[in-house]
Amino acid sequence: MPSNLSELKPSHLWKHFAKIITIPHCSGNEKPLGDYVLSFAKGLNLAAQRDKVGNVLVSKPATPGHETAAGVILQGHLDMVCEKNSDVAHDFAKDPIQAEIKGDWVQAKGTTLGADNGIGLAACLAAMEDTSLVHGPLEFLFTVDEETGLTGANKIQKGFLKGTRLLNLDSEEEGTFTIGCAGGADSEIAFPITRKKTASKNLFRLKVHGLRGGHSGLDINQGRANAIKLLVRILREAQDSARFEVVCLEGGNKRNAIPREAWAVLACAPAELRAAGAAFKRSFEKISAEYKAVETAAKYSFERVEDEKAFALTADCQRGLLNFVLAMPHGVVAMHPEMKELVETSTNLAIIRTGKSQIEIICSTRSSVASALEATRLVLKAVTEMAGAKINPKYGYPGWMPNLQSALLATLKELYKRTFGKEAGVVAVHAGLECGIIGEKFPGMDMISFGPTMEHPHSPDEHVHIGSVERFWQFLTATLAELG
Ligand SMILES: [Zn+2]
């Protein structure tokens, strides 16, 4: 059983990975690793350059006789997510990652390992160095800040790349090709409010909490409840049988998360309290039965808060607001017609905040089809305008529309079957990837993403499967020969 990385195969790939994890490269601090790649390329006499944002590009000429092949780009991101367990003393700005072999896997001691995307980078360095490979003209693109904002991909200048086929090495499941991703964009909505003094000074907080939440793209098709939508539904249902005044509505805290909790502060006169409490309870019980398979820890509370003179929404404004939030779409809008598991379009009602003169609502919408993204944002705009509110559609990032007719996909599928005797899986993800942005900047770029098997990236439990790294390298080098 090997005890250190240098004993693993392929040895030159692991040698580069062992070096990479000694160089700090948290998102936003990729310069030292970029410097290393540049100097390594120069040592090999390969042309290398860095653009203004910090992306590094290295070119390697074709092996003799393969000069006329269309160029191939190998791409990975320089940054890693830096997370550690609270009981671990580790300074990501200077300490090397302590990798260890555990059975069939490599992991780090209490920190993220950076196999995402360090293995992909190591494969690039190994391919730069290896003179035994057969290939056409190659470029190696190392991007910055993928993890926190896709910044490097966003800032690539047109003309920076020559190749027309791109292999993104940032996937996490061996034997699966990723061929698409979602684009996304946020909408910020301002619902104007008018207030009046509350009739009662008895204030209560109605709160929905304990929901599962999750990622607004990857978990949007899991049937989870949205705390803001539930809260507003409870209030809207109760409004027909009970009297209360809404002072504020609050919920959600991240644009890319399904809201897990939301609450309203209400004014309710003592004589109305029993009816209101009963209506909320009835409504919540109905809802929790509806969601019982998924939201097993859903809770609600209706509790007195300190008495104070407050200003609630006027009756018309309250009715208008509840109707508006109820009518705003949330969840899966469409599944992909050919890739059955793939959410094509979705929207997340992410945040609601009460200000002095307006209520702010933020929605984030995703789709792998640009026109479907626009269509769903138009629905948000239409509902907003009907409610007399204002919408500010923020600029988003482009998607990568799956192309099942891609020549690159056909070649790699056939090669995979020939190499491993089984079919590769083909998927797309309902989240943003660098390929979406690169594809928009370089129209016609044929792209595919693959990598070795990794589990729990972005957390200290991150680990990478050793055998899958060896097969990943085998497949990558076979791919270069096939395309060369
Ligand atoms: Zn990654």
pLDDT-derived band at 149, boundaries 50, 70, 90: confident
- 290 vs 304: CA distance, rounded Å: 27
- Length of the chain (residues): 484
Q: Work out the number of other CB atoms within 10 angstroms of the CB of residue 145.
A: 23
Ligand 1 center from residue 483 Cα (angstroms): 24
Question: Could you report the per-residue pLDDT of 161-175, keeping only the tens digit for each?
Answer: 999 999 999 999 999
- Strand 463-465: give its sheet, edge to edge: 99-102, 105-108, 463-465, 454-455
Distance from the alpha carbon of residue 179 to the mean position of ligand 1, in angstroms? 15
CB 449, CB 424: distance < 8 Å: no
**Predicted confidence (pLDDT) at residue 5 exceeds the cutoff of 80:** yes
The Å distance, Cα 168 to ligand 1 centre, comes to: 10
**Neighbour-count burial for 188-202, b at 16+ CB within 10 Å, e otherwise:** ebbbebeeeebebeb
In 243-380, the DSSP E strands lie at 245-251, 262-267, 299-304, 311-313, 331-335, 343-354, 358-367
Whether 340 shows a pLDDT value over 90: the answer reads: no
Tell me what pLDDT residue 199 has.
83
Does residue 205 contact residue 234 with C-beta atoms inside 8 Å? no
Residues 6+ apart with CB under 8 A from 371: none
> Are the C-beta atoms of residues 165 and 483 closer than 8 Å to each other?
yes
Give distance in angstroms: CA of 202 to centre of ligand 1. Answer: 51
pLDDT of residue 308: 77
List, by residue number, the catalytic residues.
79, 146
Q: What separation, in Å, do the N-terminal and C-terminal C-alpha atoms of the chain show?
A: 37
For residue 254, the model assigns a pLDDT of 86
pLDDT at 2 over 80: no
pTM: 0.84
Q: Give the mean model confidence (pLDDT) for residues 299-324.
A: 93
pLDDT at 281 over 80: yes
Which residues make beta-bridge pairs with 166? 73, 447
Predicted confidence at residue 1, as pLDDT, reads: 65
CA of 119 to the centre of ligand 1 (A): 10
Burial of 23-37, coded b for 16+ CB within 10 Å and e otherwise, reads bbbbbebbeebbebb
**299 DSSP β-pair partners:** 209
State pLDDT tens for residues 108-134: 999 999 999 999 999 999 999 999 999
Residue 394 scores a pLDDT above 80: yes
CA distances (Å), origin 167, targets 116, 183, 237, 439, 444: 15, 19, 52, 12, 14
191 φ, ψ to 5°?
-100, 115
User: How close is the Cα of 457 to the center of ligand 1, in Å?
Assistant: 8
Calculate how far, in angstroms, residue 203's C-alpha sits from the geometric centre of ligand 1. 48
Q: For residue 147, how far is its CA from the centre of ligand 1 (angstroms)?
A: 7
**CA 246 – ligand 1 centroid, Å:** 44
